[in-house]
Amino acid sequence: MAAGTGASLGCSIFSTRTAVDTSRSLRLENGFFFGHDLRQEDSVVYVLDLSGSMSGRTGSVAEQVGKDAAAEAGGSLLTGITGNGLANDAAGSVLSMDKKVELVKDHLIASLRGLPNGAQFNVILFSNDVQRLAPGMITANAASTNAVGAFVSRLREGGATSLERAVLAGLDSGAHDLLVLTDGLPTDATPESILSKVQARNESQKRRISTVGVGDDQAKGFLTRLATENGGKYTSYE
């Protein structure tokens, strides 16, 4: 499917311009998911990587060294006040906040809070297996988005990257738009196989697929093609 067909796919939450955005400063803001504006969305499925590699941290080596130093300094400060137990917990909390999976949780919860009342959404999680948060689409309201946010905050990463099955499940969900996030290459199929199957499946369904890559190992070429060949947009968070 050509990128130029994007204007006819789904609703208009994404610009029909399929430029690649690369940024480490994508703000955490209600109604946005890594820069994708969902505040007028009516039907979206998040397809999210929960594989073991999502336990890694974002940022350059220099940035990570700085965060390590900050965590150590914070722990040292608390040691003299509260003892080693709380100090170690505090230092661990500083570092865990920078894990890719924690970043994704924060952006997902913020985006859910900004969905319009009555919008339809679901979350598909993939690692070794593929799981839907609910059998069918969920209606967005304060109660449902808060409940999903509380559940998501307790998720843990682990396993492989079954991206092909997850994307195909997203196409079968009935949503107009898919947001696919991952930090590396799929393990259940080759990128070319996924692109081919998605093209065949989506030729009649006309779903818009946008992608988000996180971390240094993201497959930028694959994620760019998956988005632009299906009317969407690719963003990168490194």
The total number of structural domains in the chain stands at 2
Pair (68, 115) in one structural domain: no
- In this prediction, residue 99 carries a pLDDT of 85
Q: Give residue 143's domain range.
A: 3-58+99-237
Lookup: tokens for 138: 């969920």
CATH number, domain of 147, equals: 3.40.50.410
Pair (87, 133) in one structural domain: no
Pair (109, 177) in one structural domain: yes
Residue with the two structure tokens 């059998």: 135
Pair (24, 72) in one structural domain: no
CA 222 to chain centroid: 16
Pair (91, 205) in one structural domain: no
- In this prediction, residue 238 carries a pLDDT of 80
The domain boundary residue, chosen from 69, 95, 121: 95
Predicted structure pTM score: 0.76
- As to burial, measured by CB atoms within 10 angstroms (0-12 exposed, 13-18 middle, 19+ buried), residue 124 is buried
Nearest to 107 by CA among 54, 35, 174: 35
Pair (147, 89) in one structural domain: no
Pair (39, 142) in one structural domain: yes
Residues 6+ apart with CB under 8 A from 125: 48, 50, 131, 133, 155, 166
Nearest to 205 by CA among 173, 227, 179: 173
Pair (52, 65) in one structural domain: no
Residues 6+ apart with CB under 8 A from 17: 233
Pair (126, 111) in one structural domain: yes
Pair (79, 129) in one structural domain: no
Pair (107, 47) in one structural domain: yes
Predicted confidence pLDDT, tens digits, the chain (238 residues): 333 333 333 333 333 344 455 554 467 899 999 999 999 999 999 999 999 989 887 543 333 333 334 334 433 444 454 455 544 443 343 334 468 999 999 999 999 999 999 999 999 999 999 999 999 999 999 999 999 999 998 988 999 999 999 999 999 999 999 999 999 899 999 999 999 999 999 999 999 999 999 988 899 999 999 999 999 999 999 8
Pair (81, 38) in one structural domain: no
Check: CB of residue 58 under 8 Å from CB of residue 98.
yes
Lookup: tokens for 13: 């939450």
Strand 234-237 relative to strand 208-214, pairing: parallel
